[in-house]
Amino acid sequence: MKKLAINGGVPVRNTMKKSWPSWPVVGDEERKNLLETFESGKWWYGERVKEFEKKFAAFQNAKYGVTCTNGTAALEMALLACGIGDGDEVIVPPYSFVATASAVLKVNAIPIFADIELDSCNLDPIDAEAKISKKTKAIVPVHCAGFPVDMDRFLSLAEQYRLHIIEDACHSWGSQWNGKGTGALGTCGVFSFQVSKNITAGEGGILLSDYEEIADTARSYSNCGRGKDTPWYEHYLLGSNLRMTELQAAILLGQLTRLEEQTLKREENATYLNQQLQNIPGISLMKNDARVTRRGYHMYIFRFVREMWEGIDRNRFIEALNAEGIPSSIGYPNPLYKNPLFQKPGRSGIDYREVHCAKTEQICEEACWIPHTALLAEKSDMDDIVTALTKVWTERKTLING
């Protein structure tokens, strides 16, 4: 084949001439909503926020939506609404953004790490069950990259052990399990609208639930502990001010008009990549599940199969792929418990220096992420990804670790 770009060859894609889609995607919907809201002077927690909560909850098939400042705050709200606090144990995956575990510490509960599956990067229900103790009150599975965890298994664990399932759906806008949206399947679920996410207002978050009481309690926490239709200066819970602004909701309402179409486009492109990439021995694709009736993609993950690359490491492979003009990254570099936050004695009484989740540690060395923005390009652009991966695989003997 041809000389690798990292070795001075011509890249598969010249990104100066042919760039990848930029993010965020915005249009007249955001512009109009934002301008109207701006000029109305109604910037505070009102009709726009309410409308977005209703529409986003409906989009994920949930009965109730409670917006807030960000996904991290939404996780804290979810834990508090489920009554989780002092000394309670909450099972979380270590392959995630830090908030999945730090939110648990924030409510004085104890994160217990269970391992993930290599072929989905999702929390492994078998290891999660093995970590259940008398103190366990909830499991917080992450629908990693947008691929729903096996909710049938997790919901039956919830029933058997009387636990809450709090879905960290901060990668899974638009994903559906058996026809129902993620975030609406457990006791509650949370989403982020931070700028890197598939629908964004720069910052923002929401909690979804089918349970009115959970939604009401979450609302109270997000709104200074106020009650429902009770006097303004009467406070019932130790809440905080986590309210979303009308300006954010105005943007999100615009973004939401595009979410379905973008979700379908990403899924179509990812399905095409799955077909085209399955025969490259050096990489391993993530699994599928017929119960996943729609798969939102926050990124396209595949695994670098180390044994096949004769000493070349994943980081060098990613550099080679980027040199060919394909946006890709190593993703989460470490299991969450390896963060300095956990690598010192903490108040939880658990010594996280002794925690080892073998598959998570392996995935941190082997995962390759292509961002969701690339999946918004055309099918011919997916061919560039296929060509580049084939080229790097074919020419692997010319790669030297950097």
Ligand X SMILES: *Cc1c(COP(=O)(O)O)cnc(C)c1O
| Positions marked active-site | 97, 168, 171, 194, 197, 226, 233, 243
- The least CB distance from residue 253 to ligand X, in Å, is 18
- Which residues make up the interface to ligand X (CB under 6 A)? 70-72, 96-97, 99-100, 142, 168, 170-171, 192, 194, 205
Report which residue type is found at 71: G
Euclidean distance between CA atoms 333 and 52, whole angstroms:
34
Q: Name the strands in the sheet holding 110-113, side by side, starting at the edge strand that comes first in the sequence.
A: 64-68, 205-209, 188-192, 164-168, 136-139, 89-92, 110-113
Q: Is the link from the previous residue into 11 a cis peptide, with omega within 30 of 0?
A: no
Euclidean distance between CA atoms 43 and 50, whole angstroms:
13
- The least CB distance from residue 128 to ligand X, in Å, is 16
DSSP structure class, residue 154: H
Report which residue type is found at 171: H
List of residues 6+ apart from 369 with CB closer than 8 A: 145, 299, 300, 301, 328, 329, 330, 331
For 205, list phi and psi in degrees, rounded to 5: -160, 165
User: Of the two residues 4 and 364, which places its CB atom closer to ligand X in the complex?
Assistant: 364
User: Of the two residues 171 and 258, which places its CB atom closer to ligand X in the complex?
Assistant: 171
User: Of the two residues 100 and 309, which places its CB atom closer to ligand X in the complex?
Assistant: 100
User: Of the two residues 146 and 325, which places its CB atom closer to ligand X in the complex?
Assistant: 146
Given a contact cutoff of 8 angstroms between Cβ atoms, the answer to whether 392 and 277 are in contact is no
User: Of the two residues 168 and 210, which places its CB atom closer to ligand X in the complex?
Assistant: 168
- Show the tokens assigned to 49: 């926020």
DSSP structure class, residue 95: S
Euclidean distance between CA atoms 86 and 104, whole angstroms:
10
- The least CB distance from residue 121 to ligand X, in Å, is 11
The residue whose Cβ lies closest to ligand X is 71
User: Of the two residues 71 and 371, which places its CB atom closer to ligand X in the complex?
Assistant: 71
Report which residue type is found at 394: T
Given a contact cutoff of 8 angstroms between Cβ atoms, the answer to whether 291 and 154 are in contact is no
Given a contact cutoff of 8 angstroms between Cβ atoms, the answer to whether 203 and 248 are in contact is yes
- The least CB distance from residue 70 to ligand X, in Å, is 3
- The least CB distance from residue 170 to ligand X, in Å, is 3
Q: Closest Cα to residue 139, out of 109, 178, 172, 181?
A: 109
